[in-house]
Amino acid sequence: MNLLYTDIEDDLRASVKDLLTDRAKAADVIARTETTEPYDLDLWRRLTELGAVSLHVPEELGGQGASTREVAVVMEELGRSVAPVPFLGSAVLATTALLGCKPSDEVRSLLDAIGSGEQIATLAISLATAPGSTVPDAIRSDSGLSGRVRSVADALPADVLLVPAQGGSGLELYAVPVAQPGVEVTPVTSLDLTRPVADVTLDRATGTLLAGPEAAEPAVDGALWTAAGLLASEQLGIAEWCLATTVAYLKDRHQFGRPVGSFQALKHRLADLWGDLVLARAAARNAADEPGQLSASVAQALCSTVALHAAEECVQLHGGIGMTWEHPAHLYLKRAKADSIALGTAGRHRQLLAPHANIPA
């Protein structure tokens, strides 16, 4: 186990951070949430040009041949900027599900299209679905795929949906093009305006079979576990931004002739938060270094609550300005809250951890 960042990971972070500093400024992200186009697809194209979207895809399948460690670094920086791009849905959920399928021509073609930015894909499962509890909302019949999936992340900009469907012999996975009469993607009111969810309705839609019953379930479940582990890195980025921004503000804000941050009560709150963040970083790095059910549940059980607490403290300790629309603190609070119920709540992951140790559920 290696929880430290390598030189390659530091270089990748620097490249992604430079791009996001230039293209995902807080004011621009806030302004985009007020439009009818919540996703920054130009920024997404720049990320694909960096190779960030196909990092953990093997070279023989057209990817960068890196690992989930590098993906986690990108997730950290995206969390630090709450950038409105479909990374979780396309680069993590959909790509990992495809890697769990037999590398057929269809799978290879999709991986190449996603990595190049030619297409955006997402896994048509509710964002709230916890790993190990996949129940398909779609059914495959002779007339096509039918069903309704609620609260799908990154479905709005998607060109292709990876749809788990109940077939005659078990779970199957299909690639379903969005641009057809039998597919409807309906935006719903989302708490997190930088990653809105949508309902997907299928009515005898056509799709390409990617995996049959023997491979579909492990592919989908593996994607959910990997995404849960990597989501912890995004939550780490959120918490780090909130702490750093709050510390800087309390050093600058003066009251009664002294910096607000010099008051002992606030020092203790920030020190406690820093300690929580150190633990969260270790858990997130472990989930990135050794992806698996245990590491993902440990990371989610901890990072989910730390990110939300950090965002709440950020809003409160900024005082009146933290409550305004113009300050970006609310974006981080909403993302942290949405992440806290994504891919299983912290409570659900503690329940999943209970059989591994004498841990109260």
- Residues 231 and 47: their CA atoms lie apart, in Å, by 18
Query: Quick one: residue 343, left, alpha or beta (phi over 0 = left, psi -120 to 50 = alpha)?
Result: left
Q: How many CB atoms lie within 10 A of CB 133?
A: 12
pTM of the model: 0.95
**pLDDT band at 259; cut points 50, 70, 90:** confident
Mean pLDDT of 104-129: 96
256: its two tokens: 């009664």
Please report which confidence band the pLDDT of residue 260 belongs to, taking 50, 70 and 90 as the band edges.
confident
At 273 the three-state DSSP class reads helix
Closest CA to 334 of 59, 11, 23, 38: 38
Give residue-wise pLDDT tens across range 328-343: 999 999 999 999 999 9
**What integer pLDDT is reported at residue 224 of this predicted model?**
97
So what's the pLDDT on residue 358?
Answer: 67
Q: Which domains does the chain have, with CATH numbers?
A: 218-357 (1.20.140.10)
CA distances from 35 to 38, 109, 203 (A): 6, 33, 29
Q: Report DSSP state, residue 100.
A: T
- Measured between alpha carbons, how far is 60 from 58 in angstroms, rounded to an integer? 5
